[in-house]
Structure 1
């Protein structure tokens, strides 16, 4: 934890080529309250841990001025992680061809000019929490994530303002005992999916250099990884502004009510969002940023399933 001013192992300042709101952009990398890999400090700086091929890194992102961002890094993986920082903060996200064409989206786009799509380039790191979130409520998935990262990840390097952890390596995920998955509330199917994917982590990382179509194909080769999970990874690791989480329990009805005032199936949602091809995930983010109302809470919600009792 932070005990005084500490010089970073690596640091990079840059002027982003478009407005960038770090909190809006990086918030999608946070996995629920108390995420041991993510923290916003009292000054508004965002701390994030990651695991590179060189080792663990802790990053601190901050706005130095209205048009200057800075990332400081600590740990053996700091050089790689800091070099990636502009892309993580959405530097490659290009919204120049996005045409809202709808008053709600026009206003949301105008009022949130700094909302960017991040690109961490860490595929397996984004895949594990996405698998944990399959077919369970977010509260449950986030609790499992906290338990597993704190239990099997390493303490974060550097002067973190609160205790933070770095995710386990692929080998670390693969070696988690069966009873620990059970204790964390993860059912055998999701545990097997993560353990199997861990064995192919280097091949999965190759998706960073692929087209969106080829990247999705590579990810969905993994048993237990479908289109929804691949999209969740693409939104964070690959910076894909078009990656739509088809099959989400709530998304189609959220989009349906926000844009048309009614429930929608996945097929109807895809048809409705077709005019924004290339930016369909951006549309969802803008609707959320605008506070667009989704479906009224009248129907059944996904229930908490305690796998520890099974």
Structure 2
């Protein structure tokens, strides 16, 4: 294993300090916690808090800023943050208008965020929560009951964050988040595993001519393994499963995300996006917005995921609204 690190036990702590050093106008760290909040606070608006295990950067700290998140909680590598850490994030970010927790559907995350919400409620803080489950690959997996939450979570941050930024109530912000969750679907693939630094070895093994279709962002098993094919053929496989959901139909508008998992060249992501655009055009589904890049990674996994979000007038406005965060800037 070759990694540019110091001590594997200190990666999250040093990473967060490095983020603050790089982006002091955006984020500050809560003392004694693996939590980032907006540098200038979030008074007078509904606040959004998300997070999970580290290793998915720029998620989630990279999305703390205007138009997206107000706080992000970083657990240990691929490990849910503790209820106490989430609770500290809620207290630090609370602007007096209520808090929405955006949780990816992993058993530990759901349990710990819910416990933190109860702790905050005991302190008189109004907290609501939503659970993102956009991965169509498998119904249940290693760490979940039900579908996993993956890159579609970024669209929840974007749309709900925009609603909060323009003064939406907690009920309105939650309703937007739930609308995104109902209309967003994703699926991914890997050509090479990631390596968790503390483990020192790949999280799974693939032969040189094999890929894993539908794997999770922690290396959880997908639907099957197959011989490597062209990016167009592989993209067709992922899109077929997504479109089989029956959400996206001729005449619809969608936002598209082609998300790299950490070690996939941008060049290859654009090849995948080309095929996505071709397939959707053939089906008369209009692409209103496209994002290509590393938005929710899996340390150094090689592979990519595809996300589609069906848009109505409200979501189209919100997905195109301004945002200014370390990892996502839109004017």
- Tell me the TM-score range normalised by the shorter chain: under 0.3
Q: Which has a greater percent of helix?
A: 1
TM-score, normalization: structure 2?
0.23
